[in-house]
Structures are given as structure tokens and as C-alpha cells.
Amino acid sequence: MTEAGWQPNAAGVMRLPSGRLVRGRGLRQPLPDGPEPQFGVYLVGSPPSPVTWESRWVRWRDFWLPADRTEFVGVLREVLDRAGTQRVELACGGGFGRTGTALSCLAVLDGVPPAEAVAYVREHYLHRAVETPWQRRFVTRFDQTARHRL
């Protein structure tokens, strides 16, 4: 990991199988101590508050799934690419459901089998990650979603 990346033991930071580090967090909590992200993806139903770093908004209502799945796949590919050299974060309101689902899908893109991705994120990020049955089902089918959206 480059100097630009997260510290592996920083709050909310998850190591992907490739070694890339990504931070998940809840937007309702204060920004964690330490360096700011260099790129953020905000998984919320309405436009997020402005930030001083580059960011993307994925329209995603609480407890649901991303409104535009094609856009979501593209954004996650960008996250995976940037996480090799930048501090990247994924965040929703609480940091559990939407963030956990996105981190699980990101893990699938990084090589975790879809059936194991939620467990991977619960072990390496947060045990409460991915809140609803349809979010879990979305992750188990994400490899098909991603292939169809190349």
C-alpha cells in the first residue's frame, strides 16, 4: 500500500483480498480522526453534503438497493481501481446496510466468491454489515450483475 492509503488499523478500514484498503463509515457519525479521504462514494437517497475531496453519489434509499445498478457497478470498479493508490471511502447514513452491501459487492469484484462476500465483510469490516434479506441476495447475485454491465 502506498503512503497515500489508509492505515490498516484505522476505524472502518477493511482490507480486500488484493491488499487494497477501503474505509466504510456512517455519515451520521463525525468524520474519523486522521487523514481525509481522497475519493468518496456516498450511498444515500438524496444528494449528500458537499465534501472537499472528489466524490460520487450513488442514489440508494435506506434499506433498499442502488437505484441504477449499471452506475453502481461502474462506481465500484472505479473504487477498486482508486483504492490501490488513494484513500477511498464508501458511506451511507449508518454505515451498516448500504455500506456493507457495497463493500460486499466490492469484495466480489476483488475475488471473494459471492456466497462468501457478506461473511467476509462482517468479519473484516463490521459484524452488522448488510441489513436486509434483499441486500444479501443482491450480493450473492452481484457477479452476474457485474458481468451483464461490462
This prediction has a pTM of: 0.93
b/e code 65-102 from CB counts within 10 Å (16+ = b)? ebeeeeebbbbbeebbebbbebbbbbbbbbbbbbbbbb
Query: What's the confidence (pLDDT) of residue 149?
Result: 54
How high is the pLDDT of residue 1?
38
Burial class (CB in 10 A: 0-12, 13-18, 19+), 10: middle
Sequence-ordered list of residues with C-beta below 8 angstroms from that of 138, at least 6 positions apart, any chain: 65, 101, 105, 145
Q: What CATH number has the domain spanning 21-27+36-147?
A: 3.90.190.10
| pLDDT over threshold 90, residue 4 | no
Distance of CA 33 to the CA centre of its chain: 19
Average pLDDT over residues 26-44: 95
Q: Determine which helix (DSSP H) or strand (DSSP E) holds 23, and give its type and residue range.
A: strand 21-26
pLDDT at 150: 45
Task: Please enumerate in sequence order all residues whose Cβ is within 8 A of that of 74, keeping only pairs 6 or more positions apart, or say none.
Answer: 149
pLDDT tier, 143 (very low <50, low <70, confident <90, very high otherwise): confident
Average pLDDT estimate for 45-59: 96
Structural domain spans, the chain: 21-27+36-147
Task: Say which residues have a Cβ less than 8 Å from residue 21's Cβ, sequence separation at least 6.
Answer: 1, 5, 6, 8, 13, 14, 15, 83
